[in-house]
Structure 1
Amino acid sequence: MKLKYENEAAVFKALSDPNRLLILEILQSGEKCACKLLEDLEISQSTLSHHMKILCEAGFVESNRQGKWMHYSINKEGYENAKKILQELESCMLTK
């Protein structure tokens, strides 16, 4: 049961930062190289890596290495999971 709540908290943590929300918006148009994300966000490589780790762990983003760069894309299953969590919370609220 505790693992369920830890996973759900990871989803909300991923959505709680403006840079991560911007990353998700950028990725909506398709897979992007980390180098492109660095240009768009004007942040350091280590900061981007931190944000991408959180987004990947929450299930919102998938990554794959191509040469020396990581490429990131949206994981639709992650969005479905977040939607399910919110629907469960909503149903609890409506029954009270």
Structure 2
Amino acid sequence: MRSTMTNLWHPVIGIQISDLGEKRFMFKFFHRMGLERVIKGSPWTFNNHLLMLYLLNEGEDPLRVPLILVVFLVQIHGVPQGFFTEALAHQLGGFLETFFGV
């Protein structure tokens, strides 16, 4: 994972990746620009597994952070012009909630 994500993200100065166990890793960026680029490029995956990213606050235990929410942007293609209404948006949102089990 270390070499793959480092090659993919190209951190400005460098990155330290620590395996915390329990399928958790800590990514420490040595320059804010590298961190911001990774956050803006979310969501990320590794070996078909979603990487849930969280910015730790000072003193926060990374093993106690509840990783339960990821924000996605969903694009809907093929809706004829004039047919995309608020009602359709609510229907699509309901479908996505059902599909993803939210």
TM-score, with length taken from structure 2: 0.28
1 or 2 for the larger relative contact order (CA 8 Å, sep ≥6)?
1
TM-score, with length taken from structure 1: 0.29
Structure with more strand by fraction: 2
Structure with more helix by fraction: 1
